[in-house]
Amino acid sequence: MKLFLVRHGETDYNRSNRYQGHSNTALNRTGLRQAKRLQRRLLDEKIDKIYASSLMRAMDTARIIADGRGIEVAASENLVEIGFGRFEGMTYDEIIKEYPEWRPTNCDFTACGGESLDELARRAGLFSQEIHRDNPTGSNILVVSHAGCLRVLLCIILGIDVSEWWRFTVATASISIVENTHLEPVLSLLSDVSHLDDI
């Protein structure tokens, strides 16, 4: 199985460096252009199935990529970004001002009504099992999700401890590719944004 892992296009929260999490933000004008570039970039790739986070920014990116393929996008709650609770909509500086004891290396947001890294990893693990169970070995699968979820999913697929999720950069509207996922997974492309050069 070959996985095309795509992060959604830009939102206004991305542009202003605000924590989004479960907030159902829409693609902005740049994000829509990025999604169309992703669609063109992937035009010659054989895609058998498309999965996306149920959040609007990911679903809209996936639907633009799917345009003309005759493939319906399958929404998955397991691909939704980690929940940041009360931090959603805030910038890092705003969080530190209001919660000076918090550190960005703390990936447990349950104290503020969000999720923990373990909860995100459980969801991502369930999704990984699902796609391997429900699709033939030779399938090409497109997944549209969020930075945190994609980082954790990469760890799970590659057999890396999820605590190392921060070692991956997953840029907005980027493409990463993992091949041979049924046997010995190989990361052949990471966070590529060459299709966005002039945006």
Instruction: State yes or no: is 182 an active-site residue.
Output: no
Q: Are 52 and 58 in contact (CB under 8 A)?
A: yes
SS3 letters for the chain? CEEEEEECCCEHHHHCCECCCCCCCCECHHHHHHHHHHHHHCCCCCCCEEEEECCHHHHHHHHHHHCCCCCCEEEEHHHCCCCCHHHCCCEHHHHHHHCCCCCCCCCECHHHCCCEHHHHHHHHHHHHHHHHHHCCCCCEEEEEECHHHHHHHHHHHHCCCHHHHHHCCCCCCCEEEEECCCCCCEEEEEEECHHHCCC
Torsional class of 18: left (φ above 0), alpha (ψ -120 to 50), beta (otherwise): beta
Instruction: State yes or no: is 132 an active-site residue.
Output: no
Which among 22, 132, 146, 182 is annotated as catalytic? 146
Q: Supply the residues annotated as catalytic.
A: 8, 146
